[in-house]
Chain A
Amino acid sequence: MKRRLLLLLPLLGFLVLGAFLYMGLSINPFDRDSALMAREFPAFELTTLEDPERTVDASLFEGEVTLVNVWGEWCPTCKQEMPQLLDLADRGVRLVGVDYKDTREKGREFLAEFGNPFEVNIFDPEGSLGFDLGVYGAPETFLVDRDGIIRYHHTGYIRPEDVRDTILPEVEKWR
């Protein structure tokens, strides 16, 4: 009897493995949480896209819940998600852009062409802020609460349903 149970072990092991493989089918390996979740927005000191003379830092986020969107003129997906960002701005969400690895002219052209939902755009030509944010591709979007803590992170394209189903509720939650 004991031996019979022993012979069942391989089957049990396989069933456990199979269950995990099944769960694995519905996992998106690219859907990773940001390492900065629940941590302070990284310190930075950069000029704005609009005004090369104006320097901003993390105090920008004090007192208000802010959606920070990392974009660049060279990023096609960023263009596609602009309508959703404009929609969010219309709904009274405060948006701040990070123009990532871009030139000032191209960044401005981009906003002129696709609209500007951002209260202000942080100009990050070297990608240093992006790096500190752990950004590895654009677009990426962070929700920062009124104390400057990162509360939500979205990698890649924001679909219209993401605005409704996740982003707006998250904004409400931290307001």
Chain B
Amino acid sequence: MALILRLMLCAFLLWPILGQAAVEVRKFDDPVTEQRYRDLTAALRCPKCENQAIDDSESPIAGDMRDRVYLQLQDGRSDKEILDFMVSRFGDYVLYNPRLEGRTLLLWGLPVGLVLLGALVVVLMVRARRRTSVRDLSPEERARLDDLIKRERTE
């Protein structure tokens, strides 16, 4: 399976000359900013490629986007500002972490709903099954059962 034509599609479709590598040497003032850079570039999707984050794409637009992320981090912008900046140009498509809004309610809500439903199902099922479990007979039931068994034997 898994034939990946990433290089062909990303680097060579419309950009025959401007090749760039995803390996860039960048300097960061502190490890926190570096980590933010990594997280941001991993959470942004390259708009040109099939399905790659900008941090591992060799497409020129991904390089440009990494540059912007880097520069804006140096300018002290917040993560949200940087993501908004990208969305205002390339649309929600570039966010790998879709925002919670009307159209993504089901996406975020269904798993939560399923967990609740699942819990309910477990509770109901076990309660139903417990009733049929011998161990859980109340003393009266047990007495009745013994009674029945006795009657069966004597008959």
Is A–B contact present in the complex under a CB 8 A cutoff? Answer: yes
Q: Which of A64-122 contact B (CB under 8 A)?
A: 74-77, 101
A-side contacts of B87, CB under 8 Å:
35
Question: Is residue A136 within 8 Å, beta carbon to beta carbon, of the partner chain?
Answer: yes
Question: Is residue A137 within 8 Å, beta carbon to beta carbon, of the partner chain?
Answer: yes
B-side contacts of A137, CB under 8 Å:
13-15, 48, 61
**How many B residues face the partner with a CB closer than 8 A?**
20
How close is B118's CB to chain A, nearest CB, in angstroms? 15
A-side contacts of B28, CB under 8 Å:
none
Please state if B14 and A138 are interface contacts (CB–CB under 8 Å): yes
How close is B97's CB to chain A, nearest CB, in angstroms? 17
- Residue on B nearest A78 in the bound complex, by CB: B14
Please state if A75 and B89 are interface contacts (CB–CB under 8 Å): no
Please state if B68 and A35 are interface contacts (CB–CB under 8 Å): no
Among B59, B68, B89, max chain A CB count under 10 A is at: B89
Question: Is residue A131 within 8 Å, beta carbon to beta carbon, of the partner chain?
Answer: yes
Q: Which of A115-144 contact B (CB under 8 A)?
A: 127, 131-138
Whole-angstrom CA separation of A75 from B16 in the bound complex: 7
Question: Is residue A163 within 8 Å, beta carbon to beta carbon, of the partner chain?
Answer: no
Q: Which of A20-35 contact B (CB under 8 A)?
A: 32-35
- Residue on B nearest A157 in the bound complex, by CB: B14
Q: Which of A35, A74, A132, A133 contacts B18 (CB 8 A)?
A: A74
Please state if A32 and B64 are interface contacts (CB–CB under 8 Å): no
Q: Which of B16, B61, B68, B92 contacts A136 (CB 8 A)?
A: B61
Please state if B17 and A74 are interface contacts (CB–CB under 8 Å): yes
- Residue on A nearest B93 in the bound complex, by CB: A32
Annotate B54-65 by CB proximity to A: 1 below 8 A, 0 otherwise.
000001110010
Please state if B90 and A134 are interface contacts (CB–CB under 8 Å): yes
B residues with CB within 8 A of A: 13-18, 47-48, 59-61, 64, 68, 87-93
A residues with CB within 8 A of B: 32-36, 74-77, 101, 127, 131-138
